[in-house]
Chains A and B, each alone.
Chain A
Amino acid sequence: MMHDIRYRIGAPWQDLSGESDHPDDIEYIRTNIPCQWACPAQTNIPGYIEQIYRRNFNRSYGINRRSNLFPGVLGRICSRPCELACRHGETDLGEPVSICYLKRFAADQKTPDHVITEDMFPATGRSIGVIGAGPAGLAVAHSLAVFGHRVTIYEQMAEPGGMLRYGIPSFRLPRDVIDREIYNIVRLGIAIEFGCALGKDIRIPDLLQRHDAVVLAAGCFSPRSLAIPGENLPGVLSGLDFMIRVNQGETPAIGDRVIVLGGGFTAMDCARTARRLGSKDIVICIRNVEEDLTVTREEILDVKREGIRFVSLVSSMSIQGDTHATGVRFARNRFGGVRGRSGRTVIPIEGSEFDLAADTIIAAIGQGPDTRLTGAPDSDLRFDPLTGRSNIEGLYGAGDFARGASTVIESIGHGRQVATSVDGDLMKRIRRKKVVSFQPSTDTHRQRAWDFIPRTHMPSLDLPDRFASQDAEVELGFDPDLGLSESQRCYLCNLKYEIHIPDCIYCRLCVEACPRNCIELGLSPAQPPRPGTWTKTSRWNEVAGIVIDSDRCIRCGECLRVCPTQCIHVTRVELQDRLLSSEG
Chain B
Amino acid sequence: MMHEHYVIVGNGVTANAAADVLRERDPNARITMISDEFHLFYHRFRLPAFLLGEASESSLCVRPVSYYRERNIRLRLGQEVVRVELDRNLLYLKHMEKVGYTRLLLALGGKPHIPEVHYTYRHRFSTFKTLDDARLLRSRLGSIRSIVIAGGDLVSMRFATSLAKTGRNVMMMLASEAFWPLDLTETIREECIRSLTAKGVDVIDSDRIVGIDSADEQNFEVRTAAGLILPCQYVGAFFGWRPQVDFLVRSGLDIDRGILVDEHLRTNFDSVFAAGDCAQVYNPGIRNYWVSIGWPNAERLGRVAGENMAGGALEAGQAPQSALEVEGIQACTSWWREHGSE
A462/B116 in contact, CB under 8 A: no
- The answer, yes or no, to whether A464 is at the interface (CB within 8 Å) is yes
Distance, CA A351 to CA B115, complexed state (A) = 32
Binds B, one of A36-44, A331-339, A415-423: A331-339
Closest to A91 in B: B83
- The answer, yes or no, to whether A307 is at the interface (CB within 8 Å) is yes
A335/B282 in contact, CB under 8 A: no
Distance, CA A213 to CA B119, complexed state (A) = 52
- The answer, yes or no, to whether B123 is at the interface (CB within 8 Å) is no
For A139, the chain B residues whose CB sits under 8 A away are none
Distance, CA A307 to CA B116, complexed state (A) = 8
Distance, CA A92 to CA B247, complexed state (A) = 12
A301/B119 in contact, CB under 8 A: yes
Provide the B254-288 mask, 1 if CB < 8 A to any CB of A, else 0: 11110010000000100000000000001000011
- The answer, yes or no, to whether A433 is at the interface (CB within 8 Å) is no
For B119, the chain A residues whose CB sits under 8 A away are 301, 305
Distance, CA A335 to CA B261, complexed state (A) = 10
Provide the A315-350 mask, 1 if CB < 8 A to any CB of B, else 0: 000000000000000001011010000001000011
A463/B287 in contact, CB under 8 A: no
- B137-151 contacts to A (CB < 8 Å): none
A291/B117 in contact, CB under 8 A: no
Which of B256, B257, B287, B288 meets A350, CB within 8 Å?
A: B287
A349/B256 in contact, CB under 8 A: no
- B271 CB to closest chain A CB (Å) equals 15
Distance, CA A399 to CA B236, complexed state (A) = 51
For A91, the chain B residues whose CB sits under 8 A away are 83
Provide the B80-118 mask, 1 if CB < 8 A to any CB of A, else 0: 000100000000000010000000000000000001110
A307/B287 in contact, CB under 8 A: no
- A268 CB to closest chain B CB (Å) equals 14
- The answer, yes or no, to whether A304 is at the interface (CB within 8 Å) is yes
A332/B116 in contact, CB under 8 A: no
- The answer, yes or no, to whether B120 is at the interface (CB within 8 Å) is yes
- The answer, yes or no, to whether A313 is at the interface (CB within 8 Å) is yes
- B270 CB to closest chain A CB (Å) equals 11
- A280-298 contacts to B (CB < 8 Å): 289-291
- B279 CB to closest chain A CB (Å) equals 14
Closest to B250 in A: A291
Distance, CA A313 to CA B282, complexed state (A) = 12
B116/A301 in contact, CB under 8 A: yes
Distance, CA A127 to CA B144, complexed state (A) = 78
B268/A337 in contact, CB under 8 A: yes
| Number of interface residues, chain A, beta carbon within 8 A | 24
Closest to A290 in B: B256
Distance, CA A309 to CA B248, complexed state (A) = 22
Provide the A159-175 mask, 1 if CB < 8 A to any CB of B, else 0: 00000000000000000
- The answer, yes or no, to whether B249 is at the interface (CB within 8 Å) is yes
Distance, CA A312 to CA B288, complexed state (A) = 12
B256/A462 in contact, CB under 8 A: no
For B289, the chain A residues whose CB sits under 8 A away are 313, 332, 334
Query: In this complex, which of A291, A301, A306, A352 has the most chain B Cβ atoms within 10 angstroms of its Cβ?
Result: A291
Distance, CA A350 to CA B41, complexed state (A) = 41
- The answer, yes or no, to whether B228 is at the interface (CB within 8 Å) is no
Which of B96, B117, B287 meets A332, CB within 8 Å?
A: B287
A334/B210 in contact, CB under 8 A: no
Closest to A305 in B: B116
For B120, the chain A residues whose CB sits under 8 A away are 462
B116/A304 in contact, CB under 8 A: yes
- B157 CB to closest chain A CB (Å) equals 24
Query: In this complex, which of B249, B250, B287, B289 has the most chain A Cβ atoms within 10 angstroms of its Cβ?
Result: B287
A332/B256 in contact, CB under 8 A: no
- B218-271 contacts to A (CB < 8 Å): 249-250, 254-257, 260, 268
For A304, the chain B residues whose CB sits under 8 A away are 115-117
Distance, CA A464 to CA B249, complexed state (A) = 32
For A306, the chain B residues whose CB sits under 8 A away are 117
For A462, the chain B residues whose CB sits under 8 A away are 120, 211
For B250, the chain A residues whose CB sits under 8 A away are 291
Counting residue pairs across A and B whose Cβ atoms lie within 8 Å, the total is 45
A349/B287 in contact, CB under 8 A: yes
- A431 CB to closest chain B CB (Å) equals 42
* A463 and B288 in contact, given A289-B256, A291-B250, A337-B268 (Cβ under 8 angstroms): no
For B211, the chain A residues whose CB sits under 8 A away are 462
Closest to A309 in B: B177
- B334 CB to closest chain A CB (Å) equals 21
A351/B287 in contact, CB under 8 A: yes
- A124 CB to closest chain B CB (Å) equals 49
- B236 CB to closest chain A CB (Å) equals 21
For B288, the chain A residues whose CB sits under 8 A away are 332, 349, 352
Closest to A307 in B: B117
A334/B260 in contact, CB under 8 A: yes
- B196-211 contacts to A (CB < 8 Å): 210-211
For A291, the chain B residues whose CB sits under 8 A away are 249-250, 255
B256/A313 in contact, CB under 8 A: yes
Closest to A313 in B: B256
For A351, the chain B residues whose CB sits under 8 A away are 287
Closest to B177 in A: A309
Closest to B208 in A: A307
B287/A335 in contact, CB under 8 A: no
Distance, CA A350 to CA B286, complexed state (A) = 11
* A289 and B210 in contact, given A332-B288, A334-B282, A335-B268 (Cβ under 8 angstroms): no
A344/B254 in contact, CB under 8 A: yes
- A458 CB to closest chain B CB (Å) equals 12
- B265 CB to closest chain A CB (Å) equals 15
* A352 and B287 in contact, given A335-B268, A463-B210 (Cβ under 8 angstroms): yes
Provide the A344-372 mask, 1 if CB < 8 A to any CB of B, else 0: 10000111100000000000000000000
- B270-317 contacts to A (CB < 8 Å): 282, 287-289
* A463 and B117 in contact, given A91-B83, A291-B255, A349-B287 (Cβ under 8 angstroms): yes
Distance, CA A351 to CA B284, complexed state (A) = 10
For B249, the chain A residues whose CB sits under 8 A away are 291
* A289 and B117 in contact, given A332-B287, A349-B288, A463-B210 (Cβ under 8 angstroms): no
- B275 CB to closest chain A CB (Å) equals 18
For B257, the chain A residues whose CB sits under 8 A away are 312
For A305, the chain B residues whose CB sits under 8 A away are 116-117, 119
Distance, CA A289 to CA B243, complexed state (A) = 15
For A349, the chain B residues whose CB sits under 8 A away are 287-288
- B117-133 contacts to A (CB < 8 Å): 117, 119-120
For B260, the chain A residues whose CB sits under 8 A away are 334-335
Distance, CA A290 to CA B287, complexed state (A) = 21
Closest to A344 in B: B254
Closest to B268 in A: A337
For A334, the chain B residues whose CB sits under 8 A away are 260, 282, 289
B287/A289 in contact, CB under 8 A: no
* A464 and B117 in contact, given A312-B256, A337-B268 (Cβ under 8 angstroms): no
Closest to A335 in B: B254
- A154 CB to closest chain B CB (Å) equals 44
Residues of B within 8 A of A (CB): 83, 96, 115-117, 119-120, 210-211, 249-250, 254-257, 260, 268, 282, 287-289
Counting from the closest, the 8 A-B pairs by CB-CB distance are A304-B116, A352-B287, A305-B116, A289-B256, A335-B254, A349-B287, A351-B287, A305-B119
Residues of A within 8 A of B (CB): 91-92, 289-291, 301, 304-307, 312-313, 332, 334-335, 337, 344, 349-352, 462-464
Q: Can you identify 21 A-B contacts, CB atoms within 8 angstroms?
A: A91-B83, A290-B256, A291-B255, A304-B117, A305-B116, A305-B119, A306-B117, A312-B256, A312-B257, A313-B256, A313-B289, A332-B288, A335-B254, A335-B268, A337-B268, A349-B287, A350-B287, A351-B287, A462-B120, A463-B117, A464-B210
Query: 11 extra interchain contacts, Cβ-Cβ under 8 A, other than A304-B116, A334-B260?
Result: A91-B83, A92-B96, A289-B255, A290-B256, A291-B250, A304-B117, A313-B256, A332-B289, A334-B289, A335-B260, A351-B287
